[in-house]
Structure 1
Amino acid sequence: MRVIVGIDESDESLYALQWTVNNLFNGPINSAAGGERNLLTLVHVHQPSKHYGVGPSAFPAGPGVAAYPSTALVDSVRKSQEQISARILSRALEMCDNKMKAETLILEGNPKDKLCEISEEMKVDLLIVGNRGLGRIQRAFLGSVSDYCAHYAKCPVLIVKPPKEMAGQ
């Protein structure tokens, strides 16, 4: 069985991973897969650097003035994003604790789109995402990765809700 868990910096996504480890990957080997272990892919998607429409990488510096960041600044921001992503996935990988075969993947883009795309590309059996418990109005304005994936992913989607004491923190 091939499973993707969407991971971000939220406690809810880490809870979804913990639930996955405890409930789906407790058996040592999947006999239906010819003796191969199940594969868990931990996916973190970070947003690309913001573009402001003035130029390919320009940002407003005052009324009618556009500034262009240096290549060094752009590289520094990209490196910082990669380090943050690596830290998030390292923490998540520790939770797997050698209980299953796990790999990590860092993508750039809109998390809801990228999770659906990669789950289709990798032909996964199950996509698992956490749920922040947004209210109806927050979901309308902010969007919901779990809601989007449930509607548009080409594979089954499991949305893991956090326990009540964790919700709304």
Structure 2
Amino acid sequence: MTEPGGRRVAIGIDESDFAEQAFDFYANNMRKEDDYVILIHTPERYNVMDANLGTPVKRATVLREILEEVRKKVKALEEKYKKKMEEKGIESGKFITRRGDPGEAIVHVAEKEQCDLIITGSRGMGMLRRTILGSVSDYVLHHSPCPVLICKPEVHKK
């Protein structure tokens, strides 16, 4: 995809509805023709070192299977968002996969890509849960090099 001279917008994505709602909010309400959209994804992490998998051969087999599963999930997510970009008329952008903590990855890529805006979804956790578990959107908000838009979960209207 081409790289025009407009805004550089980073959107954190994963397999969740929250990420899809954030993408849709951007596409339906904020998109400008010359925006360059950078979709940032951090694959789920697996801790195979703690698993009791038996022999070294068995561990190697399981590790290969996990890596292949992750590769397939990332490819499917990339294809899903490529299609969504086409449907929304977004012509310029790219998909970046970065390992590690999602919040740190989003901030790092936004800095490196010199983004003008970061958009992320929010799972809507309460304060206690967010304090214990942490929050990607909270991390991004407090460490971002640029403005951040946090899309709250959609509330179904009656």
* TM-score (normalised: structure 2): 0.83
Aligned partner letter, 1:38? D
For 1:44, which of 31, 41, 45 is the aligned residue?
41
Contact 1:46–1:81 (CA under 8 A) maintained in structure 2: yes
1:83 aligned counterpart, secondary structure: helix
Structure 1 unaligned blocks of 5 or more: 29-36, 52-56
Amino acid paired to 1:10: S
The count of residues paired between Structure 1 and Structure 2 equals 148
Aligned-pair CA distance for 1:58: 5.9
| Other-structure match for 2:73 | 84
Q: Residue 47 of structure 1 contacts residue 110 of structure 1 at CA under 8 Å; is this kept in 2? A: no
1:165 is the counterpart of 2:156: yes
Greater helix content: 2
RMSD: 2.1
5 Å-filtered alignment, 1:111-126, equals 111-126=102-117
Give the corresponding residue for 1:99.
89
8 Å CA contact 2:38, 2:96 repeated in 1: yes
**How far apart, CA to CA, are the structure 2 residues paired with 1:98 and 1:20?**
10
Q: Which has the higher strand share?
A: 1
Counterpart for residue 22 of structure 1? 28
Question: Percent identity at matched positions?
Answer: 26
Distance in 2 of aligned mates of 1:10 and 1:47:
12
- Of structures 1 and 2, the one with the larger relative CO (CA 8 A, separation 6+) is 2
Contact 1:5 1:41 in 2 (8 A): yes
Change (3 A) 1:78 1:11: same
Q: CA deviation at 1:60?
A: 3.7
> What residue in structure 2 maps to residue 33 of structure 1?
none
